[in-house]
Amino acid sequence: MTVERAAFITFHACPLAAPGQGKSGGMNVYVRQLAAALGEKGMRIDIFTREHAGVSNHIETIGPNVRVVHLKAGAPDAHLGDLYAHLPEFLSELNSFREAEGLEYGAVHSHYWLSAWVGQELAKAAGAPHVVTFHTLGHIKMQSRAGEIEPEERTQVEAEVMASADRIVAFSPHEKDAMVRLYQAAPEKVSLVPCGVDLSVFRPLDQKSVRARLGLNGEKILLYVGRVEPLKGLDLLVETAAQMDSEEKVRMMVVGADANGDKEMDRVKQLAKERDLDKQIEFVGQVDHSELPLYYNAADVCVVPSYYESFGLVALESMACGTPVVATRVGGLPTIVHHGRTGYLKSWRCPEAFANSVEMIISSDGLQQSMGEAARRRAEGMGWDNVAGIMWDEYAVLTGNTPHDDNET
């Protein structure tokens, strides 16, 4: 026997929300894709998230054995910073739903610190092991960039949950080390389980055809994908382009929306104007997740200039499409990008160094091709099917059951 049903708690991040808009991003993709992959393997997954603006169905089935359940917790349009006070309401709604349907869960898997508070209480009530993936950590965020402020409750809850959880999932050795060093987490409770990528969606396409579809010409394209917020360091992309003296015509494409209104977008646009690059940068805005492969394939280089990335899903998606990555050497990015083989990692936020690495790639068709091929090979070992198998085994071990076997009937 193995775990047959699991509850996913993703309190503030609905897996149905489109990534790249507001606070929706890699975590939304992770939760949905991991649940879908587990569902395909036969595990039943209920994803609990808060009711928010635009919800049409209280319960929505999103694939074999997977459904999303929206529960009331504060006003639907409540700000993220105000949600902590509504955790007890959400927990009460969840327990009522579970009892009404007579549900028993073999594991509870929480995502993010807000969800972790709920998850630890649900796990106690359900008599199930509690697994938590934090995705980002408050202490690291505040250390990564001056001016980053997190609620006082966040680091306290993170520490409490790390002490009480049955298993903590870390994306990289860097994250595991931070958990042990900053939160005194027990090393034996922390498992390294990478993020994944949908290899059937994110795959190499003919660049010429893709560019024609997007209405692009023959210029070299630097791509940024993600939320437009200070922590993502988009200004470094602009400064990098300003330092480039390549003979090739370069165009920057920014795919994603501002996380907090238009404040950061306006700042980046003003910077581009000051560097006389406003005609070379295109703010595409949010695009459907299924359309992202077009942009990755159209690009010559994907730039990930973040101050902090717990994993770096954008880098992995780009690599799966065969596009080299130039990224900051932070968080989990060194576990994805192999420096000198699938792209370049930069230890300092130095525009000159970034520009040098970008120019090396775009000036050599041979290097770009070899890096792209190596990037795809690297990504092929990180498909969601593999990740789901590892996670199922984590659940099974915690419940004293045997690891999952795809050949089981």
Q: Report the number of distinct structural domains present in the chain.
A: 2
Compute the residue count for the chain: 409
Over residues 176-232, the pLDDT tens digits come to 999 999 999 999 999 999 899 999 999 999 999 999 999 998 899 999 999 898 999
CA 17 to chain centre: 13
Q: What's the CA gap between 114 and 260, in Å, rounded?
A: 19
Confidence label for 23 from pLDDT (cuts 50, 70 and 90): low
pLDDT digits (tens, 9 = 90+) for 70-120: 999 988 888 888 899 999 999 999 999 999 999 999 999 999 999 999 999
What DSSP assignment string belongs to 335-394?
A: HH--BTTTEEEESS--HHHHHHHHHHHHT-HHHHHHHHHHHHHHHHTTBHHHHHHHHHHH
Note down the domain range covering 15: 5-196+383-398
Compute φ and ψ for 304, nearest 5 degrees: -120, 90
Task: For residue 383, give both structure tokens.
Answer: 């498909």
Q: What is the DSSP string of 197-245?
A: B-TTTS----HHHHHHHHT--SSEEEEEES-BSGGG-HHHHHHHHHH--
* Res 78: pLDDT: 84
Residue 181: CB partners within 8 Å, gap ≥ 6? none
Residue 408 lies in a domain: no
Tell me, yes or no, whether 50 and 179 share the same domain.
yes
Sign of CA dihedral 142, 305, 285, 264: positive
pLDDT for res 402: 61
- Identify the band that residue 405 occupies on the pLDDT scale cut at 50, 70 and 90: low
Residue 26 — pLDDT band, cuts 50, 70, 90?
confident
52: three-class secondary structure by DSSP: coil
Tell me the pLDDT tens digit for each residue of 279-291: 999 999 989 888 9
> Does some domain include residue 409?
no
The reported pLDDT for the residue numbered 144 is 86
Provide the pLDDT confidence category of residue 409 given band limits of 50, 70 and 90: very low
> CB–CB of 315/302 below 8 Å?
yes
Tokens found for residue 97? 């739903």
Residue 401 has pLDDT above 90, yes or no: no
Does residue 180 sit in the same domain as residue 300?
no
311 and 241 in a common domain:
yes
Rounded Cα distance between 312 and 333, Å, is 6
Q: Dihedrals φ, ψ of 220, to 5°?
A: -80, 135
d(CA 302, CA 293): 12
Distance between CA 153 and CA 321 in Å, rounded? 39
Bigger pLDDT: 57 vs 36: 36
Indicate the pTM of the whole model: 0.89
One domain, residues 183 and 233: no
β-strands 66-71, 59-63: how paired? antiparallel
Write the CATH number for 282.
3.40.50.2000
To the nearest whole number, what is the mean pLDDT of the chain?
A: 92
In a domain, 404, yes or no: no
Is the domain of 143 the same as that of 288? Answer: no
